[in-house]
Amino acid sequence: MDFTLTDEQQAIRELFQSFATKEIRPVAAELDTEPRFPGELFARAGELGFFAMRYPEPEGAGLDVQSFLIATEELAYGSLAVAACCTMQALMGSHFVQAFCTGDVRDRLVPAALAGEVRGTICMTEPDSGSDLFSMKTSAREVEGTWRVTGQKTWITSAPFADMFTVFARTGDSDSEERELSVFLVERGAAGLTVGRAIEKMGVKASLTSEVSFEDTPATCMLGELGQGVPYLRRILADIRLMTAALSIGVARAALDDALAYSKERVQFGKPICRFQSIQAHLAEMRTDLEAARRLVQWAAWRSDQGMENADEASMAKLFASEKAVHTCDLAARILASYGYASEYPVERYLRDARFLLIGGGTSEILKLNIARGMTR
């Protein structure tokens, strides 16, 4: 298989690389020290077509998975926090609305969401339910033709500024576990919907995250069929994991670039530290891990674009890329030594931000189980 970029893909890389370098990176430190929703950058990503890339025409751009991941990597190179806001909108926050909304609701929300004018998020995680979706307690019941949702969600990315919430909830008991969960659309302003204050986090601080509670909250509509929440989620899990892997590559690349530049400028014992074998070993390891992660992601994305099964490949790509991103950021901090611990340099932010990648899209522990099950299936 040939991983050479097409002319269109190269143009996408250059477009988003310019955006990340000229517009995102100059304000990334400020967004970390004074966390806020990066509204102008979010809107700019919409203008560049990022939110519509992965959706079919005529509403979307109809681009391949590889193109979407190229743009995602570049956004993360600029700021992982900004990239997290944008990818939530481009994938989880709008996917089910685009896939299942009809009529007036579709006309009102889908074009606006793909332009970034209506902001979305997805609500799955609960205080006592993370990787184990079937322990979810949030429930929905039908009352006079309207579904009403009750429960509490936590760690909801983009909730403080979201206009629409894709909510997973129990809709009754059944002999089949996969028929226990359904998906609903709840819009901001609905009765009984409460968005809590932003959770203070170690990193990705401008990607605001909070608790969300529902108290007999009327849903705008059910998204898809009753009880099909888990199968629907499984259909996009590979995309979610590949997206997280692309985010990992972006921040790892930023850490490598900064560490390499510093090692060429920093002089000790009469020569730049990049000429010392120990530093060279770190740089070589970082570049090797980065390129290996990129090839894993390209392989899994290629399978997706060919219409082939890629669940295991996406899990391997996400596992490797996220773990190596954290390790790469740690090596970059070691190369900078004391300055790698100082907020004056972005490397310490990269290291804090990268920890988020070990959780989003499935923890490393869960991914290892999935990969092993695929091997022994």
Mean pLDDT of all residues in the chain?
95
Non-local (6+) Cβ contacts of 17 within 8 A are 74, 77
Phi, psi of 163 (to 5 degrees): -100, -25
pTM of the shown model: 0.95
Please determine, for residue 16, whether its predicted confidence score (pLDDT) is greater than 80: yes
Give tens-digit pLDDT for 145-160: 899 999 999 999 999 9
Give tens-digit pLDDT for 158-211: 999 999 999 999 997 655 454 589 999 999 999 999 999 889 999 999 999 999
- Cα separation, 145 vs 147, in Å, equals 7
Give tens-digit pLDDT for 67-100: 999 999 999 999 999 999 999 999 999 999 999 9
Beta bridge pairs of residue 169: 182
Contact 167, 147 (CB under 8 A): no
Model pLDDT, residue 133: 82
Tokens of 310: 């890629």
Contact 124, 165 (CB under 8 A): no
Name the superfamily (CATH) of residues 7-115: Acyl-CoA dehydrogenase/oxidase, N-terminal domain (1.10.540.10)
- Cα separation, 224 vs 228, in Å, equals 7
Model pLDDT, residue 173: 62
Model pLDDT, residue 104: 96
Model pLDDT, residue 179: 52
Phi, psi of 87 (to 5 degrees): -75, -30
Token pair 């819009």 is found at 187
Q: Do domains 7-115 and 231-376 have the same CATH topology?
A: no
Give tens-digit pLDDT for 207-244: 999 999 999 999 999 999 999 999 999 999 999 999 99
Topology of domain 231-376 in CATH is: Butyryl-CoA Dehydrogenase, subunit A; domain 3 (1.20.140)
Element (H, E) at 377: none
Half-sphere CA count of 198, side-chain side, radius 13 A: 19
**Residue 21 DSSP label:** I
Non-local (6+) Cβ contacts of 340 within 8 A are 332, 333, 334, 347, 348, 351
Q: Provide the CA 256 distance to its chain's centre, in angstroms.
A: 21
Q: Where are the domains of the chain?
A: 7-115, 120-227, 231-376
The residue length of the chain stands at 377
**Residue 213 DSSP label:** E
Tokens of 208: 């605001």
Options 2.40.110.10, 1.10.10.10, 2.60.40.420, 1.20.1560.10; which CATH number does 120-227 get?
Answer: 2.40.110.10
Q: What is the CA radius of gyration of the chain?
A: 21
Q: Provide the CA 305 distance to its chain's centre, in angstroms.
A: 19
Tokens of 99: 């896939």
Provide the angle, in degrees to the nearest 10, between the axes of the packed helices 277-305 and 311-336.
Answer: 160
Exposure string of 322-346, with b = 16+ CB inside 10 Å and e = fewer, is bbbbbbbbbbbbebbeeebeeeebb
Give tens-digit pLDDT for 100-141: 999 999 999 999 999 999 999 999 999 988 788 888 999 999
